[in-house]
Structure 1
Amino acid sequence: MHAKSTVFITGADRGLGFETVKALLQSSNAHTIFIGALLIRDAENAVKRAQSELPQTKSNLEAVEIDIESDESIQSAFEKVSSKCGKLDTLINNAGAQFETAQAEGRLTLREAWNKSWSVNVTGAQVLTHVFVPLLLKSTNPRVIFLTSGTSTLEETYISVYPFNHSPVKGWPKEQDPAASFPAYRSSKTGLNMMMREWERTLKHDGVKVFCCDPGFSATNLGGSPDQMKKIGAQDPAIGGAFIKDVVEGNRDQDAGKVLRIDGIQPW
């Protein structure tokens, strides 16, 4: 009987993170899954929901409080995972956010929206990964996954099927709504792709497989309510969760160091 693999997922109390938890719970493989959330009560509630929905699972769940903008919180999460398991097989940097909506509504300035985007989507993932490397190196088959976005690709910046790629009419100021084009969010995810490449280079000889994963346009709270997202073509986030599960379980190992899509490789 194989020992359970250990998986830590940030932002796992809802959306794509929670769907990834459920996909792993339905796997024929057994996992110890750490559900990370900003507040411990949200992580604990997610554990209860998942156990209620999938009581027959081979896997088990642990709740972890994690604020990826806090070094103290990251260290505390590290100590909990270390004390429970002593190693980590897969780190999934799922927690992320877009702040253009808050900017458009006047709750953040332009500078604040951009700084917050990079703090959460890039810096937080960088610091978390840095802290957890010692646990990953205790695994015999370690993986690091960063959740990116289909909007991050440079090569597809001008593909006209995406409404956010359209150029506004001449003149200044532009009337383009930042919440409709989200330049801070997509720029931070492009930066995340480069960060993944740096980790892939850094950990190559340690046997750590590193990926970015684009789960597809999913109906989560990231860009509005899930119902609103579905009306404009967003897919069920369970599809993305199943995709991430496949990466965790080694089905895309041949594509390590790249930005993965469900059906192939995302161009740079």
Structure 2
Amino acid sequence: MANPQIVLVTGGNTGLGYEILKALLQSPTPYTLILSARNPTAATEALTELTQAHGKLDVLINNAGASFDRQVESNNLTSEREAFNKTWDTNVTGTHVLTTSLMPLLLLSLNPRLLFMTSGTSALSETEKSEPEAFARINASPAAGWPKDEGVNPVIMYRSVKTGLNMLMTQWWRRLRADGVKVWAVSPGFLATGLAGIGAERLKQMGALDPAEGGKFVRDVVEGKRDGDVGKVIRASMVQPW
């Protein structure tokens, strides 16, 4: 039997990352799974393990991300600038730097795959949609006056940054096309994870799905079921509009 594919999942200790790892473990296809958390030490440890113990990487799943919009409202962050920079640094800059660091190992794979975890809220062409309910909520205009009440789930920073991540994906797809690396931005759907900071149960009441559904979707991408959509932002049932 061929050696198991080596898969690195960032942010794999909780939420969607945990469900991705669980879905891959439940697959009849064997994998060697490596979990990396969202901090420099963990990233360095993952790179060391890959280099010394495995010598290559087959699949990089850039799942680690964070939203800091609510932390401005709660005064946990002192300014809009701090929150926006932290959102960008976590979701885009950190992802780009890690991908760059691991690229020599990924290019040693016979079937390399690179996934960027984006958001269903990131499509520019859907910023005026009012259906389904999730779009009606995030695209609604607040009442006149200042400061603005963005409701239960403010997303202006997170949403803007994930749109930037989509561009990052297209540039990695452009850079790696001649190398045969399959690249996607994966939009896993509205999931009841801890990302929004409002609790899984509240998110379920708002229509969020079990995070396990997102894990199974990512497993499908890893196992070749969306190979016809490389270079795109993909949802479970369609290619997401730009």
Taking structure 2 as the reference length, the TM-score comes to 0.94
The answer to whether structure 1 residue 258 and structure 2 residue 227 are counterparts is: no
Q: Which runs of 4+ in 1 moved over 4 A?
A: none
C-alpha displacement of 1:5: 0.2
What's the counterpart of residue 84 of structure 2?
114
Mapping 1:1-268, distance limit 5 Å: 1-38=1-38, 67=39, 70=40, 74-108=43-77, 109-161=79-131, 162=135, 163-171=137-145, 173-177=146-150, 180-223=153-196, 224-268=198-242
- C-alpha distance in structure 1 between counterparts of 2:225 and 2:150, whole Å: 39
Q: Which has the higher contact order (CA 8 A, sep 6+)?
A: 2
- C-alpha distance in structure 2 between counterparts of 1:199 and 1:180, whole Å: 30
Q: Secondary structure at the match of 2:35?
A: strand
Contact 2:36/2:42 (8 A) holds in 1:
no
Contact 1:101/1:178 (8 A) holds in 2:
no
Describe the shift of the 1:83–1:155 C-alpha distance in structure 2 as closer, same or farther (beyond 3 A). same
Q: What residue ranges of structure 2 are gaps of 5+ in the alignment?
A: none
Describe the shift of the 1:178–1:200 C-alpha distance in structure 2 as closer, same or farther (beyond 3 A). farther
C-alpha displacement of 1:182: 1.2
What's the counterpart of residue 55 of structure 1?
none
C-alpha displacement of 1:81: 1.4
- C-alpha distance in structure 1 between counterparts of 2:180 and 2:61, whole Å: 17
C-alpha displacement of 1:178: 7.2
How many equivalent residue pairs?
A: 236
Q: What residue ranges of structure 1 are gaps of 5+ in the alignment?
A: 39-66
Identity of aligned residues (%): 48
C-alpha displacement of 1:168: 2.2
C-alpha displacement of 1:177: 2.7
Amino acid in the other structure paired with 1:128: L
C-alpha displacement of 1:181: 3.1
Q: Secondary structure at the match of 1:121?
A: helix
Q: Secondary structure at the match of 1:265?
A: coil
Let me know the Cα RMSD of the aligned residues. 1.4
